[in-house]
Structure 1
Amino acid sequence: MYPQTHVYFAEAILGYKSDPVSLGSVLPDMLIGEHFNHCEAHCKGVEIYNFLTKNHALQDFGQAVLTHGFTPEGLDYYGDEKYLDYEKGYSFEKARPFVQKTIEACRIPPEMGWWKAHNIIEMGVELIVGSAGHYNEQLKSAFTNHALVSEVSEMLQDLWKDKNLRFSGRVKTFTGFIELEKPGVESLAQKYKVQMQYKHKVEIDTKKVADLIYKAAEAVSTDLQHFFQNTSALVKDNLKSLTKP
């Protein structure tokens, strides 16, 4: 899912909001890059949480990280990997009718279609969630909390001494790729254009993508809250087993 959705979900799981919760909720996506691929970055939650627990530091941040990834099973597990009896996760299942139009709008080869169509669904979710709350402001607060960013940077360096993550730089880079205002279909499409240029060197048709995002929001509107309710219960159970004294 997209950043404002992750903030919303982490707050729903933990029952409160804070800069550490907001930053922790998006950390796995910020780890993707030189040292960790997408899957690896989404499987570091337990390692990070256990390290923080051992050092009695950043507990809220660590718990928020646990709500995000694949291992332990967080929001992106149920969105991407597996949900109910679907072949993959919720976002992929909802993306099936969008594949061909996504291929055309994003000017990508067919083999990339389902993956990128699932991004369209995620942006539809982001549109709904972000429009209903102030999660963009919470992200901005976390990203500009220099003491927190510095503390997280030091923690990650202590945890992975052989890796220079340059976390402060990652924060700056990450904010350039995501929507930090109230999301609209046009603004989400423009940010997706930046992402697709950077990752795949393709020029998407932002007007067509914006239209697809609007239709994606319509497509998920009937069962999105049910998805969040189901996954919240599952993730809370997962966290209880990991965080109990």
Structure 2
Amino acid sequence: MLRRRSDAITLGSLFPDMVISARVSHAMAHSLGAELLYVVKENHALADFARGIITHGISPHGLDYFGDEKYPGCERGYCFEKGRPLVKHTIEACNIPPEMGWWKAHNIVEMGIELRISNRGAYGHLIHQAFNNQELIDQITSLLGELTGYREQGLKKRIAGFPGYIEIYKATAQSLADKYQVQMFARHGININTVKVARLIEIAAEQVEDDLDDFFRYTYDIVLRELDKIERY
């Protein structure tokens, strides 16, 4: 999204999901970028890290704002709208109560999108490289303890463990479902039916085929304008 690549951008784009915990709410984790950018804008690597957070986040408006919160023509975000037809089957496949159905169905859609993007080209080596950049991780954890409420070593441990929760090789529907099982058990103590979830991911990937590029074109322009406003502030 930023027209270039760096380890800092890669880590920043993943960071909001890394730090969600009892200490850091989903909303807080997805709203760190602008404040951080003001603090570190003179440090090229850390500024890129902050920019990566912004492109992912909710406030300022990043991809998750449009995927989760609000997208034109939708009650909520794009991924929630696409998840509507999958709610009933998601509840069954994930062994969850009905009130969790729409949220987890939107996760299924996100994984369907990930499957589509992964099929367009390999990106796992970029994630490997970023998570092996210990000098950068040391800078991040030294700076972010106060903002996130984590001790430095605790945050390092959180970052080091995150690749175990996501697919960093070329994704398949089954590999994404297997990683989702790890996440669901860690967060909720729930075992999902990974075969059924994999099929739902395939269905979700089919459902976004016609308008996913429209979603990215729309969000790309807005997110870059939002970032430009922050940079000029």
TM-score above 0.5, yes or no: yes
2:147 to 154, 160, 171: 160
1:164 alignment partner AA: R
1:47 alignment partner AA: E
CA contact (8 A) 1:42 1:69 kept: yes
Question: Residues 202-221 of structure 1: matches in 2 within 5 Å?
Answer: 202-221=190-209
Which residue does 1:35 correspond to in 2? Answer: 23
TM-score by length of 2: 0.95
Paired residue secondary structure (1:79):
helix
Which residue does 2:176 correspond to in 1? Answer: 188
For the pair 1:104 / 2:66, whether they are aligned, the reply is no
Which residue does 1:85 correspond to in 2? Answer: 73
Which residue does 2:137 correspond to in 1? Answer: 149
Distance in 1 between the 2:47 and 2:96 partners?
41
Distance in 1 between the 2:129 and 2:155 partners?
17
How far the C-alpha of 1:56 sits from its partner, in A, is 6.6
Comparing 123-132 with 53-62, greater Cα deviation is found at 53-62
For the pair 1:223 / 2:211, whether they are aligned, the reply is yes
Superimposed CA distance per residue, residues 71-110 of structure 1 (whole angstroms, 9 cap, x where no aligned partner):
1000000000000131100000000000000011111111
Q: Which runs of 5+ in 2 are unaligned?
A: none
Structure 1 residues 161 and 139 mapped into 2: Cα distance closer, same or farther (>3 Å)?
closer
1:212 alignment partner AA: L
Structure 1 residues 53 and 214 mapped into 2: Cα distance closer, same or farther (>3 Å)?
same
TM-score by length of 1: 0.90
Structure 1 residues 123 and 56 mapped into 2: Cα distance closer, same or farther (>3 Å)?
closer
Structure 1 residues 212 and 84 mapped into 2: Cα distance closer, same or farther (>3 Å)?
same
Distance in 2 between the 1:24 and 1:86 partners?
28
Distance in 1 between the 2:180 and 2:86 partners?
16
1:223 alignment partner AA: D
Which residue does 2:55 correspond to in 1? Answer: 67
How far the C-alpha of 1:160 sits from its partner, in A, is 3.4
Identity %: 46
CA contact (8 A) 1:136 1:181 kept: yes
2:102 alignment partner AA: W
Distance in 2 between the 1:161 and 1:67 partners?
19
What is the CA RMSD across the aligned residues, in angstroms? 1.6
Distance in 2 between the 1:164 and 1:126 partners?
31
Paired residue secondary structure (1:32):
coil
CA contact (8 A) 1:49 1:66 kept: no
Distance in 2 between the 1:64 and 1:56 partners?
12
How far the C-alpha of 1:210 sits from its partner, in A, is 0.4
Distance in 1 between the 2:129 and 2:189 partners?
31
Comparing 211-220 with 24-33, greater Cα deviation is found at 24-33
Distance in 2 between the 1:66 and 1:20 partners?
12
Aligned residues: 232
Superimposed CA distance per residue, residues 111-159 of structure 1 (whole angstroms, 9 cap, x where no aligned partner):
11000000000000000112212322111110011111111111213x5
1:72 alignment partner AA: P
Distance in 1 between the 2:114 and 2:142 partners?
31
1:134 to 122, 127, 130: 122
Structure 1 residues 139 and 85 mapped into 2: Cα distance closer, same or farther (>3 Å)?
same
